[in-house]
Amino acid sequence: MFNEIQHQYSEHKNKELAWLPSDTEHQYQQNLISRRQELSDNDWIDREFTYKFNSHGFRSEEFTDHDSIMFLGCSMTTSIGLPLENTWAYQVANSMNLKRFNLAIGGTGPDTAFRLANHYVPQIKPKIVVYVDPPPGRFTLVRGTGEFQDFFTGQIDYINTEFRSYYEHWLLNEENLTLNSLKHKLAIQALCQQYNIKFVFAKSYTEMKFLDYARDLNHSGRNSNKDFAEIILNRINQNN
């Protein structure tokens, strides 16, 4: 019914996973040894849940023609490390009685958010698009093979050496990071205006508080997501 597009989570189509990077079993076992008290403080000892993906490869409800709200962003919007019911996107969609179409992909940047929006917004035509800007310094290269090379500052040592020098130079000038975020925000906003869709924008790295932590002890936890859901709901209501 809806045309697909290849992306970094495409391999997860129709799957239900027990773990998802950076919330991996290996990381959890390591944290049990070195950070057990933090796991206990955040109530993650022996807590199990799954990541369920739709037929397009997103941690989302199956796409339909029903009234919906679309979410775009990175792992802070996927809410890696949390059960679905604790994620801020789930809470926002439920509060508004809208279908939850979450197109966020962990470890990606603004260009991936726009690429997915450009493909799916004209098809789905959600009532609202919420775009949460990933941390600065991220972008994706689609290689000649069709594979995705994601660039983000925390993983420089893991970036293929043939691209590392370019990325390090790109990071040296703050204007590259600022314009990369701004141009994709404006592009998604213009796309929404074209289809008369309400556009809501937030920044994950300044507006999502770390009141607690998710199971990977790297992403925001239950209370943090609940707090951020209120921020987004207030912003949606302000724009009415």
Q: What is the pLDDT of residue 231?
A: 97
pLDDT single digits (tens) 158-173: 677 778 888 888 888 9
The Cα–Cα gap between 233 and 95 comes to 8
pLDDT of 44: 98
**Strands (DSSP E) found in 85-240:** 99-102, 128-133, 139-142, 148-151, 198-203
Let me know: does 84 contact 71? Beta carbons within 8 Å.
no
Question: 180 pLDDT exceeds 90?
Answer: yes
Mean pLDDT of 34-45: 98
User: For the chain, what percent of residues have pLDDT higher than 70?
Assistant: 96
Residue where the block lists tokens 């109530």: 43
Mean pLDDT, residues 67-71: 98
Confidence of residue 32 (pLDDT cuts 50, 70, 90): very high
User: What is the structure's pLDDT at 46?
Assistant: 94
pLDDT above 90 covers a percentage of the chain that reads 82
Domains and CATH numbers, the chain: 10-238 (3.40.50)
